[in-house]
C-alpha cells in the first residue's frame, strides 16, 4: 500500500531515498495499527514527483485514519476536505483561507 514493493527487505533504511524513508516510516505506523498519525512536515525536502507520491499516499491513509499534519505549506493540502488550524500567537485558530 505504501509503494515499497520493489525494495528488498534486506535494504538498510539509511540507503533508501528520502521519499522511500518517509513511506517506510508510514508503513511502520500502519503495522502498529495507529489510529492517529501525527506527521511533521511529511513532504519537506522531497522533489515534486516524490512529494506527489507521498501526498497521494497520505490521502489514501486519511480515509482510514486520523491524520494531523504540521506543515509550512498548507497549499499542498488545499484539495483535501479537512479541518485546518493555524497556530498564531501560541493559540490554534480556524484557518478559513490559505495564504
What confidence tens digit (pLDDT) does each residue in 60-82 have?
A: 888 888 999 999 999 998 888 88
In terms of Cβ atoms closer than 10 Å to its own Cβ (0-12, 13-18, 19+), residue 97 is: exposed
C-alpha distances out from residue 4 to 24, 36, 75, 88, Å: 8, 22, 27, 38
Q: What per-residue confidence (pLDDT) applies to 94?
A: 92
- Written out in words, the top-level CATH class of the domain with range 1-77 is alpha beta
Q: What per-residue confidence (pLDDT) applies to 68?
A: 94
C-alpha cell at 91: 493559540
- Mean per-residue pLDDT for 21-46? 85
Half-sphere exposure of 31 (CA within 13 A, CB side): 7
Q: Is 41 helix (H, G, I), strand (E, B) or coil?
A: coil
Taking the model in full, what pTM does it have?
A: 0.75
22 pLDDT exceeds 90?
Answer: no
Amino acid at each position: 500500500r505504501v509503494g515499497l514493493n520493489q525494495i528488498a527487505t534486506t535494504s538498510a533504511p539509511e540507503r533508501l531515498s528520502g521519499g522511500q524513508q518517509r513511506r517506510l516510516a508510514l508503513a511502520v505506523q500502519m503495522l502498529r495499527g495507529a489510529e492517529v498519525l501525527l506527521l511533521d512536515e511529511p513532504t519537506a525536502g522531497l522533489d515534486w514527483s516524490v512529494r506527489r507520491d507521498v501526498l497521494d499516499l497520505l490521502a489514501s491513509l486519511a480515509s482510514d485514519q486520523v491524520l494531523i499534519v504540521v506543515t509550512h505549506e498548507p497549499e499542498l493540502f488545499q484539495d483535501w476536505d479537512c479541518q485546518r488550524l493555524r497556530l498564531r500567537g501560541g493559540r490554534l485558530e480556524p484557518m478559513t483561507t490559505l495564504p
